[in-house]
Amino acid sequence: MERVIIFDTTLRDGEQAAGGTLNIQEKLEIARQLERLRVDVIEAGFPISSPGDFEAVSLIAREVRTPIICGLARAHPGDIDRAWAAVKEAEHPRIHVFLSASDIHRLYQLKKSREEILQTSHDMVARAKKYVDDVEFSPMDASRTEPEYIYQILETVIDAGATTLNIPDTVGYAIPDEFGGLIGGILKNVPNIHRAIVSVHCHNDLGLAVANSLESLKRGVRQVECTINGIGERAGNASLEEIVMAIKTRGDFFNLTTNVDTRQIYRASRLVSELTGFPVQPNKAIVGANAFRHESGIHQDGVIKMPITYEIMDPRTVGIPASSLVLGKLSGRHAFKERLAELGYSLSEEDFNRAFSAFKELADKKKEVTNKDIESLVAEEQRTVSETYHLDRVQVSCGDRGIPTAAVRLIAPDGQVLADAALGTGPVDAVYKAINRLVGVSNVLTEFSVKSVTEGIDAIGEVLIRIESDGITYTGRGADTDVIVASGKAYMNALNRLLAAKKAAT
Ligand code: KIV
Ligand code: ZN
């Protein structure tokens, strides 16, 4: 079986999704999980785009040693130099250069002739090649470009030293058969194509990103670019877990394989959702909450008799824990540790101890602690690690007669205990106003949602919020059996991110 190179762009194109900003430590955490997932290439960011992106790519290049670490660059000398500066310490560095090829982009956006695009593509690949052997080139908007012109560009950049040629369906316009035809044409008509790996990068505007990627594999492509949970610009990118599991489950059809440790998929999906604040829809293939749930009696009957009747994949192969046994207040450290391992967590001793205390506290309030509860409480504990201010206490008084009032107590960075109170239109508003009085950072709340992690009246409530300050969105999450406390935690989490970003910018 031939192997497909899995190029993950969660940290670059995925992070381009509106409202999905990640801080540097969060990017490193995702990169480490991608390494555990055994992707071949991590596109860690677009170094010229901001000092924060540069720093994140450099850090990942130094810390994550197994996969290729790739930095994106426009076809500008400054971009390429900056991309190299960011990835140069990687064990396996790559520079990815892109330039628009379609008439639409050329005429309306770049205002450049075809000859100029050809020349610049050649020169910028040659510039990148002086730094590193591993150079990828993408003719942007390829699916809306005349194929003969694409052939010309590809031949030129291979001559200049490109080793991977990526064909992007930038605006998600392609239809599988047509896109496959473009790939077939490239493999047939570019004379030096055997010197490079052909890759695809598909967007999901028509919901066809995965279908287009799979069609390309059938036609001879050997690298696919994708993101965890399919996050990305607009409707997103091709979803990594869907592509990898299609290749694995339908090995009979594709006759291909990947290096991915599929048991790490579920953990990667949860982590990316948690850190970006983008929930995974319940019916999402592979990682959605309902992906392996059988509701109909006939299906349940079949699965009990023989899982293969209605399950084409074993949930354990994607890392969904087999054990649905609930833990409770009598469960000890050992059982808790084992369950964490099954869920894909590898916590330090200190983090484990904190998570275990939180588990014990929860088990006192809630009779049965499920896997979802455990994921939620570990995430909550991890959120508090990098806090500036810690929300120590929340107390509200509300109802249909009184004026909603909140008192809060925070622990400041220097350990000082701060307390204040405020009135609001409701209890959450009152809590936020009381926190604002203490922290004093102006921002606007743009999104607020609450969901329960499991069924039942004693379920943990999870709050997701987004706030905006100086045009930048910050996501916050909080979990607690009390939704007002969860709301306060989520707000504190978003404010702490905002404060950290402001500190990093000074
Ligand atoms: O969608 C696109 O064309 C891109 C390129 C930078 C590869 O993201
Ligand atoms: Zn893209």
Q: What is the pLDDT of residues 105-150, one digit of tens each?
A: 999 999 999 999 999 999 999 999 999 999 999 999 999 999 999 9
- Ligand 1 near 138 CB (within 6 A): yes
Ligand nearest to the CA of 200: 1
Nearest ligand for residue 100 CA: 1
Cβ atoms < 10 Å from Cβ of 346: 11
Q: What is the mean pLDDT of the chain?
A: 94
Confidence of residue 401 (pLDDT cuts 50, 70, 90): confident
> Contact, 243 vs 213, CB < 8 A?
yes
Contact 59, 26 (CB under 8 A): no
Q: Which helix (H) or strand (E) holds 224?
A: strand 223-226
Q: Are residues 364 and 500 in the same domain?
A: no
More confident residue, 314 or 456: 314
Residue 194's CATH number: 3.20.20.70
The pLDDT of residue 320: 86
pLDDT in the model for residue 295: 76
47-99: pLDDT as tens digits: 999 999 999 999 999 999 999 999 999 999 999 999 999 999 999 999 999 99
Residue of the CA atom closest to atom 1 of ligand 1: 170
pLDDT in tens, 13-22: 999 887 777 8
Each residue's pLDDT tens digit, 181-198: 999 999 999 999 999 999
* pLDDT greater than 80 at residue 410: yes
pLDDT (0 to 100) of residue 398: 94
Whether residue 201 has its Cβ less than 6 Å from ligand 1: yes
- pLDDT category at 374 given cuts 50, 70, 90 is very high
Q: Give CA–CA dist 443/26, Å, rounded.
A: 22
Span 385-403, average pLDDT: 91
Cβ count near 300 (within 10 Å)? 13
Residue 455 has pLDDT above 90, yes or no: no
Whether residue 365 is predicted with pLDDT greater than 90 in this model: the reply is: no
3 Rama sector, left if φ>0, alpha if ψ -120 to 50, beta otherwise? beta
Burial (CB count within 10 angstroms: exposed 0-12, middle 13-18, buried 19+), residue 199: buried
Give the range of the structural domain holding residue 477, as residue numbers without chain letter: 386-505
Last residue of a domain, one of 276, 311, 331: 276
Q: Are residues 442 and 458 in the same domain?
A: yes
Q: What share of the chain is helix, strand, coil (3-state, %, to 5)?
A: 50, 20, 30
Question: Would you say the CB of residue 13 lies under 6 angstroms from ligand 1?
Answer: yes
Percent of the chain with pLDDT over 70: 99
Cβ proximity of 26 and 56 under 8 Å: no
Residues 392, 354 share a domain: no
Same domain, 356 and 402: no
- Summarised one tens digit per residue, pLDDT across range 35-47 is 999 999 999 999 9
Tokens of 101: 């090829």
C-alpha of residue 127 to centroid of ligand 2, in Å? 23
Q: Candidates 98, 199, 204: which one to mutate for ligand 1, based on the most atoms within 8 Å of Cβ?
A: 98
Rounded-to-integer distance, Cα 73 and Cα 129, Å? 13
Q: Are 465 and 476 contacting, i.e. CB atoms less than 8 angstroms apart?
A: yes
pLDDT tops 90 at residue 233 = yes
In sequence order, the β-bridge partners of residue 407 are 395, 421
Angle between helices 240-249 and 209-218 (to 10 degrees): 40
Q: Which of 491, 386, 389 is nearest to 444 (CA)?
A: 491
Assign residue 482 the CATH number of its domain: 3.30.160.270
Count of the separate structural domains present in the chain: 3
Ligand 1 neighbourhood includes 170 CB (under 6 angstroms): yes
Please indicate, yes or no, if residue 162 is contained in any of the structural domains: yes
Q: What is the Å distance from ligand 2's center to 203 Cα?
A: 6
The residues, any chain, with a CB within 8 Å of residue 497's CB and separated by 6 or more, are 23, 474, 475, 476
Q: 360 and 229 in one domain?
A: no
pLDDT category of residue 241 using cuts at 50, 70 and 90 = very high
> Cα–Cα distance between 13 and 17 in angstroms, integer?
7
Confidence of residue 330 (pLDDT cuts 50, 70, 90): confident
Q: What is the pLDDT of residue 324?
A: 59
What pLDDT, on a 0 to 100 scale, did the predictor assign at position 178?
98
Pocket test for ligand 1, best of 145, 201, 234 (most atoms within 8 A of CB): 201
Residue of minimum CA distance from atom 4 in ligand 1 = 170
Task: Name the residue among 190, 227, 163, 223 with its Cα closest to residue 12.
Answer: 227
Stronger pLDDT, 396 or 455, i.e. the higher one: 396
- pTM, full prediction: 0.89
Burial class of residue 415 in the structure, from the number of CB atoms within 10 Å of its CB (0-12 exposed, 13-18 middle, 19+ buried): exposed
- Whether 425 and 335 share a structural domain: no
What residues are paired with 390 via a beta bridge?
411
Q: Are residues 497 and 359 in the same domain?
A: no
